[in-house]
Structures are given as C-alpha cells and as structure tokens.
Amino acid sequence: MKHYAQPIAKLIGQLTKLPGIGPKTAQRLAFYILDSTQEEVEELALTIKDVKDNINYCSVCNNFSAEEVCSICKDETRDTNTICIVENSKDIVAMERTGEYKGVYHVLHGSISPMEGRGPDDIRLNSLLSRIKEKNIEEVILATDPNVEGEATAMYIVRLLEPFEITISRIAHGLPVGGDLEYADEVTLSKALEGRTKV
C-alpha cells in the first residue's frame, strides 16, 4: 500500500472490506472512481449514503423498505393469508423472480446458530408470532436455506406454530428442472429420491 497516496490507500482498504472484493479488484475500482467526473463520484457517494439513511425495515414483514410498509405488503392483490418465511431480503428477490408466489413474506434476518451465538431471540420471530396471532393467517411456507442452520430454524418455527391452526409446509429440495437426470450429482439425486412425492 505504500506506493499509493494515503487517500487512495484508504479507499482501497474500505473497498476490500466488501464481500467478493479482493485487493486487485479494489485497486481497479479505486482507480475507476479516480478517473470518474466530480458529479459521478458525488452521485455514487450520495447514493451509498442515501441507502443507509432512507432504507428501514418494513413494519410488517421486516423486508428492507423505503417506506413504513414495503411494496409487497402494501399490494392489495396479494394473498395476505399466506406467509413465506425467508432468511434474508435477497431470498425475496429470488422468490419474486419466479412470479409464481402471490402471498406475502416474513424476513428473519438470520438463522439459528449456537456457534455464532444466534438463538431464536436474535432472529425476528416475535414479530412473526404477533402477525400470526393478530391476522388471519392460513398457511406458512418455510423457505429457509437448505443447510443445517436453516433446517434447525425451520424445525423451530414448526414447533413454535404448533398451537395455531395453520398449514405449515417446507419448500422441497431436489433436482434442477430442465436438466437430464443422468447429469444430476449423486447427493442431489439421493435427496430428491428421499423427498419423492406420491402421484
């Protein structure tokens, strides 16, 4: 870093902290910013600040939102009796891309992980419970990640919701669509076989 002027070194240091950015990429980005016009740089800086200043959690589902209630929760055409539970806001984007899901969401912002000291109180389950108590929820779809932490979180929610009369389902994991069976790896195929459904 000693070859850089101090402000450049500082910028590179900041950029390296971002996920997926190594020292080489950080250097490239820093020089790109230096080469940009004054307006462009100011707009970038403002946009970054703006995101932090104006984005909050939706008061209903905890999704990131610029307003009190997010656009999905506000949408009256959606089925508010079905809640899909996801770990992160990013997962909503993925689900929305399908265009198939018409219900609403609940974002936990994390999963249960004793190793990282994250218990049920550290993810947004209380707001989920109050939603279920107050509103007429009929179905809950568990779409937490298919790893051991996501599984544990899903199981915990199942237990938590036992006293309520609602349908609870877990999204399936298995084969990618459109591929040939022979190209599926053994683990995916075994999983798909275990989770086979009756026709």
- 64-103 residues in contact with other proteins (CB under 8 A) are none
Residue 27 vs 153, nearer CB to other proteins:
153
Residue 76 vs 185, nearer CB to other proteins:
185
Output the six-digit token pair for 73.
Answer: 């929760």
Residue 5 vs 181, nearer CB to other proteins:
181
Q: Could you tell me which residues are beta bridge partners of residue 139?
A: 82, 167
Asked whether position 185 contacts other proteins by CB under 8 A, the answer is: yes
Asked whether position 149 contacts other proteins by CB under 8 A, the answer is: yes
Asked whether position 151 contacts other proteins by CB under 8 A, the answer is: yes
Q: Kindly report each contact of residues 56-63 with a partner whose C-beta sits within 8 Å and lies 24 or more positions away, as own/partner.
A: 60/104, 60/131, 61/104, 61/105, 61/106, 61/107, 62/106, 62/107, 62/108, 62/109, 62/124, 62/127, 63/89, 63/92, 63/105, 63/107
Among 53, 76, 134, 186, binds other proteins (CB under 8 A): 186
Residue 9 vs 21, nearer CB to other proteins:
21
Output the six-digit token pair for 71.
Answer: 């656009």
Asked whether position 111 contacts other proteins by CB under 8 A, the answer is: no
Nearest approach, Cβ of residue 159 and other proteins (Å): 7
Asked whether position 25 contacts other proteins by CB under 8 A, the answer is: no
